[in-house]
Structure 1
Amino acid sequence: MRADMELQVVASLLRRGRSLDQLSTGLTLVGVLFGLAQLLMASVSPICLLLSLWMIILGLLQKYWALRVAFDADLFALLARDIERTADLDQALQTLGLQSPKRAGRPWTERRRGALKLLRKQAWLLGAQALLTLGVILASPWLPFAG
């Protein structure tokens, strides 16, 4: 019963990745809009254009990790209901080419650690994207005229 509860808690934590993904999507759209605005302005600021490009790239990388985290959240929630089906999960993942045969049969502590590592990567990418957004704001040409 303890392992089932741990899997449910991990699944719940992994579902928080959706909130991170939504915030990152907003920042990515800001990067796209800001990049387009830079291209439409009379004087293009290369640093602002570069920063907005990196915001978009980090947003796309974060999106990849968000998909992986969401997939793991679903798997952990499914297996929390019936942990005895771990071998079936490994077989299905191998059949679909999502897991190598030598990784089958790993203990759940290792799987949990790996899944939470994906969530941390997603959070780090969001943090980097937020810092770039701050950089874009501070490097913006209109900032000196704001005050």
Structure 2
Amino acid sequence: MPVEVELQVVASLLRRGRSLDQLSTGLTLLGVLIGLLQWLLVTPLALGLILSVWLIVTGLWQKYWAFRVAFDADLFALMARDGGADADAQALAQRTSALDQALQNLGLQPADRAGRPWPERQRGALKLLRNQAVLLAAQVLPAVAVILASPWLSFAG
């Protein structure tokens, strides 16, 4: 498979991180709402405060990974698009060198990370996406557990 196709596939996978981020944003806002409700209660519930803080902190942490994933998605798409079907390995190496130089100039990549092969970069970018998904799971699971353990659920059935 040509390198440009692989880069486009990775960019497409990384763009799925946007959906994860949207769900996490909703859960983070739910955490804010739960926290505000705790302040309105005469006797705040410890579980509510803990859940609120957990949803907000993991949501903000996930947002950091979402920014990194989105940035990598754009870079991979750019490298795939600029290559074209008739690009050779030398042209890709030149574009990679230019990308590394730009990232170094902006302080986004240390000099010792320059020149890495694209398969290594792909694994690294997909690891960022996995980190984002793990943080989303860390947000979802406690929220679902609290909902299922809530006493009002027994009245609904």
TM tier, shorter chain?
A: over 0.9
* d(CA) in 2 for partners of 1:140, 1:44: 15
Residues 140 and 37 (structure 1), Cα distance of their counterparts in 2 relative to 1, 3 Å cut: farther
Alignment of 1:86-101 (within 5 A): 86-101=96-111
SS in 2 for 1:110: helix
The alignment status of 1:41 with 2:51, answered yes or no, reads: no
RMSD: 1.6
The aligned residue for residue 123 of structure 2 is 113
- Number of residue pairs matched by the alignment: 147
The aligned residue for residue 19 of structure 1 is 19
The alignment status of 1:28 with 2:38, answered yes or no, reads: no
State the one-letter code of the partner of 1:31. G
Q: Residues 82-106 of structure 1, C-alpha deviation per residue, up to 9 Å, x if partnerless?
A: 2340000000000001101111000
Percent identical: 70
* d(CA) in 1 for partners of 2:31, 2:151: 15
TM-score (ref. length: structure 1): 0.93
Q: Residues 92-142 of structure 1, C-alpha deviation per residue, up to 9 Å, x if partnerless?
A: 000001101111000000000000000000000001100121133245564
SS in 2 for 1:113: helix
Q: Structure 1: which 5+ residue stretches go unaligned?
A: none
TM-score (ref. length: structure 2): 0.87
> Does structure 2 conserve the Cα–Cα contact (< 8 Å) formed by 1:94 and 1:101?
yes
Residue 52 of structure 1, CA deviation: 1.2
* d(CA) in 2 for partners of 1:140, 1:34: 14
* d(CA) in 2 for partners of 1:90, 1:6: 19
* d(CA) in 2 for partners of 1:13, 1:97: 26
Alignment of 1:1-147 (within 5 A): 2-81=2-81, 82=83, 83=92, 84-138=94-148, 140=150, 142-143=152-153, 146-147=156-157
State the one-letter code of the partner of 2:129. L
SS in 2 for 1:98: coil
Q: Structure 2: which 5+ residue stretches go unaligned?
A: 84-91
